[in-house]
Structure 1
């Protein structure tokens, strides 16, 4: 089945959602590093079609501070190592950060922090597979495919939302 796509607005700018075989296969920001050519996204689709309707609903809840964990069908295409890194990204708790080195250790490859960084940068499903939650060894913000301003926004947003939620419970 050929991919299809929609573009939706968000607080971090327009997001291009790409679906393949009934699952989300990409979420790209404008001017994102490693963004494929527009022609590879397939035909435009209706935002109310699946899986887009579910993705948009969950993204809206996320940006409203009501959703901290996505539950969507995803199709991640990459090397086995990339897929392991992307799986590890999905385990990072909302509002928290981890270093590239910590992920490398978790994967049993303690000297592979650069490889983790490269795989992180190739994550095709930004925000939902939370590559923005990975920071440098000193806790500093390092490269982000969507730009450091967007990374800072997402991290600050999640921290504030988490503090508010923790205060309510």
Structure 2
């Protein structure tokens, strides 16, 4: 299983971030909701490879504006998005085999649960328990995307995560 990071944060595309602008700088859209992460990854992956979308606080509540966009990764390929302890708590089995598309970052979260913080969505008893389980990551949650269902072709994955830590 390989591990990848986004192009803007990765050394391979450092020059791109200056050309595109300050994509990783947050902005406030209504005084509370912040763009927390925005990046993209282009490459050839294998089944069960993960792409790190970035780190957020376990108390983060995601906004419905959060999305994942993708190009065609090949036949029978799906994508899960979540954290290491629950890799599909946000998106489960999103079909990325068809032509380019997008999905809400909260696709697999029930409408009645969308107000909950990440630690609850990931199945922890408390934010403290989640932080204790992620000590190696500084007590933060690493959002990851995992390719499933076969050996993906080369493609591009892009994400924009909006929300706020409580």
So what's the TM-score if we normalise by structure 1? 0.29
So what's the TM-score if we normalise by structure 2? 0.29
More strand by share: 2
Bigger RCO of structures 1 and 2 (CA < 8 A, at least 6 apart): 2
More helix by share: 1
